[in-house]
Chain A
Amino acid sequence: MNTILFSQIWELGMNVWREAVRDKAVQIIVASGIMLMFFSLVLGRMAVGGEERVLQSTGFWILGIWGLVSVIYMGSNIVRREIQSKTVYMVLSRPVNRTVFMFGKFFGMLMVLFSAFCILGICWLILLKLKMIPVSSTHFWALLFIFGEWVMLAAFSLFFASFTTPLLHNFFLAGISFLGHWLGDLRMFAENSRELWLKYILRTIYHILPNLEALNFRADALYSRVPEPGLLAEGCLVLSGWTLAALIAANIIFARRRLL
């Protein structure tokens, strides 16, 4: 039975993959990322005496934002389109249960995101090589956790896609991504706030949203600092915990969803 489950997840994932590689919008997203990366060469020349840092920072920024854009584009319709066009009937009339359906979709998103990440990441590394900027293991930690952020966003995307409209999905996902990186500032603001109600609200937001800064090792890469093992472990914990929680929640909601 397990081999059937893996083959079902593989087939569902391959379907998402095929759809993405034949979709012009996905091709445009990746191509625009590559173009912007090469445009950062121009930005680097405009900076006075900091070309290396500009190139690296822009590369990290593009990788971060393009992940969000790709997840928003793919995830907003990943469940809704299946239900609206009723293609989900063809899948669920086979011995495929709803949990497998969701995991297959997630696996497919990961395959597409991994390919896009590899293309953009390799382009960036080539760019650094061309400009003779040394690449160390700290860069790979930063890249690894940027991809980890893409994975977590994909899990959240599936969670929102299981019950909301594309518009709300995009709003929530962008909200999580931006607030997730500002949680440190938010907490500081909460501590300094004199209004008690605002303090509580900001603290609640701090505790219920994933701290994406725990996955941010970009500054370490820029200054060639080896990340502390404790921080890496915290990053892994945040990443795996939130990804798992979002996937379980997405499954529970989709399993209860009534089809017509």
Chain B
Amino acid sequence: MSELALEWKNVSFAARQGFWMKLRKIVQDIDISVPPGTVLGLVGPNGAGKTTTIKLGAGLLHPLSGKVLIKGISAAESKARKSVGLLTENQYIYPHLRLREWLEMLAGFSGIKGGERMHRVDTVLEAFELSDLSQQLMHTLSKGQLQRAGLAQAFVHKPEILLLDEPMSGLDPYWRYRVQQILTDFKSSGGTILFSSHILMDVERLSDQIVLIKEGRVQWHGCPKDMQRKIKAYEAICRSSSPEALKNIAEKGSVLPQPAGEWRASIPENKKEELLQMVSQGKIDLLSLRPIQEEIEEILFALIKEPKQGKGSETK
């Protein structure tokens, strides 16, 4: 397949707000391409335009300018949305419906009928461990259960593309892990995912590409490996009868005793040479030396503070 699974071509969107109904731009000149079989993580501060970008991708909003394409077809066309599964940030439910009825209805909208529909609903109920709750009215479900129900409806019609707004929100650690597994399996089977998240560890773990959005614009776009991580310090495990020499070069208060006469210390980057000299002089025995790199959060927070940088690497 050569065509892109999802494409935002120079897309802008604005909404009228306030008493005077002034037009406020929410996203501007967004250019994002998602090839089939890849995962793109959308990150950015609150109000940056992540949810709007996802709604544009699902054809729920029509861009003011530019184009949003799903497999080469405009997202506004209903046939384009047949291959898309959407998870919204909050689960918008009909309180009078039972979980099973809700899933059956949504599967019906995608053209799945009869026995196939029953089978698909049973499959997703089982996959998200919701079978016992299937006859419960939706307004009685907890936040985590609703989030799983939301994921179940996104999968019920066997979509090729998933648009997920905060998929891990409200999930306990077990379900965060399970959802990561389910998404990884979906990707392995050739599926395409675009998801937004504030949990940057999840974004780094799952994504092939990351897009950072700030104030409605793409601030940075690249692969996780493109993020140049500075070495902040080194973690050294040493054996020494006296840790005084180690304390002189280590960060203040970072020298901690370990079992069997070992010491763990955080050594600033500029003191690495001094540490190695001490080792060569026989003052300490160095058992291990591990660089402590910047976390993804620190890199992205730094990027948010910077003026627009552009692409980290070409991914097209």
CA distance A14 to B101 in the complex (A): 10
CA distance A7 to B109 in the complex (A): 7
> Contact: B96 with A95, CB < 8 Å?
no
Q: From B112, which residue of chain A is reached at the shortest CB distance?
A: A7
A95 interface neighbour in B62, B81, B93, B105, Cβ under 8 Å: B81
Residues of the A chain whose Cβ atoms lie less than 8 Å from the Cβ of B62: 258
Judge whether B84 is part of the interface by a CB distance below 8 angstroms: yes
Judge whether A10 is part of the interface by a CB distance below 8 angstroms: yes
> Contact: A86 with B101, CB < 8 Å?
no
Residues of the B chain whose Cβ atoms lie less than 8 Å from the Cβ of A85: 92
Residues of the B chain whose Cβ atoms lie less than 8 Å from the Cβ of A91: 109
Judge whether B48 is part of the interface by a CB distance below 8 angstroms: no
What string of 1s and 0s marks CB contacts (under 8 Å) between B89-132 and chain A?
A: 01011101100010001101111010000000000000000000
CB contact under 8 A between A94 and B61, given known A7-B111, A8-B108, A23-B96: no
Q: From A96, which residue of chain B is reached at the shortest CB distance?
A: B109
What string of 1s and 0s marks CB contacts (under 8 Å) between A82-107 and chain B?
A: 00011101111111110010000000
CA distance A23 to B218 in the complex (A): 46
CA distance A7 to B78 in the complex (A): 15
Judge whether B88 is part of the interface by a CB distance below 8 angstroms: yes
CB neighbors of A among B65-84 (8 A)? 78-82, 84
Number of interface residues of B (CB under 8 A): 31
Judge whether B153 is part of the interface by a CB distance below 8 angstroms: yes
B109 interface neighbour in A3, A11, A18, A259, Cβ under 8 Å: A11
Residues of the B chain whose Cβ atoms lie less than 8 Å from the Cβ of A97: 78
> Contact: A90 with B92, CB < 8 Å?
yes
> Contact: A93 with B60, CB < 8 Å?
yes
> Contact: A90 with B106, CB < 8 Å?
yes
B110 interface neighbour in A14, A95, A258, Cβ under 8 Å: A95
Residues of the B chain whose Cβ atoms lie less than 8 Å from the Cβ of A92: 59-60
Q: From B109, which residue of chain A is reached at the shortest CB distance?
A: A94
Smallest Cβ distance from B105 to chain A, in angstroms?
A: 5
Number of interface residues of A (CB under 8 A): 28
> Contact: A259 with B60, CB < 8 Å?
yes
> Contact: B92 with A86, CB < 8 Å?
yes
> Contact: A87 with B92, CB < 8 Å?
yes
CA distance A259 to B157 in the complex (A): 24
Residues of the B chain whose Cβ atoms lie less than 8 Å from the Cβ of A23: 96
Smallest Cβ distance from A82 to chain B, in angstroms?
A: 9
Q: From B54, which residue of chain A is reached at the shortest CB distance?
A: A93
> Contact: A93 with B58, CB < 8 Å?
yes
A18 interface neighbour in B60, B92, B96, B113, Cβ under 8 Å: B96
What string of 1s and 0s marks CB contacts (under 8 Å) between A135-179 and chain B?
A: 000000000000000000000000000000000000000000000
Judge whether A32 is part of the interface by a CB distance below 8 angstroms: no
B78 interface neighbour in A11, A89, A95, A259, Cβ under 8 Å: A95
> Contact: B61 with A95, CB < 8 Å?
no
Smallest Cβ distance from B152 to chain A, in angstroms?
A: 12
Q: Which of A4, A14, A19, A23 has the most CB of B within 10 A?
A: A4
Smallest Cβ distance from B106 to chain A, in angstroms?
A: 6
> Contact: A94 with B92, CB < 8 Å?
no
Q: From A90, which residue of chain B is reached at the shortest CB distance?
A: B92
> Contact: A95 with B111, CB < 8 Å?
yes
CB contact under 8 A between A95 and B82, given known A7-B113, A19-B96, A85-B92: yes
Q: A8-B108, A94-B82 are in contact. List 18 more A-B contacts (CB 8 A).
A: A4-B111, A7-B108, A8-B109, A8-B111, A14-B105, A19-B94, A89-B60, A89-B88, A91-B109, A92-B60, A93-B58, A93-B84, A94-B157, A95-B82, A100-B78, A258-B61, A259-B60, A260-B15
Shortest Cβ-Cβ A-B pairs, 3 listed: A94-B109, A11-B108, A93-B86
Interface residues of A (CB under 8 A from B): 3-4, 7-8, 10-11, 14-15, 18-19, 22-23, 85-87, 89-97, 100, 258-260
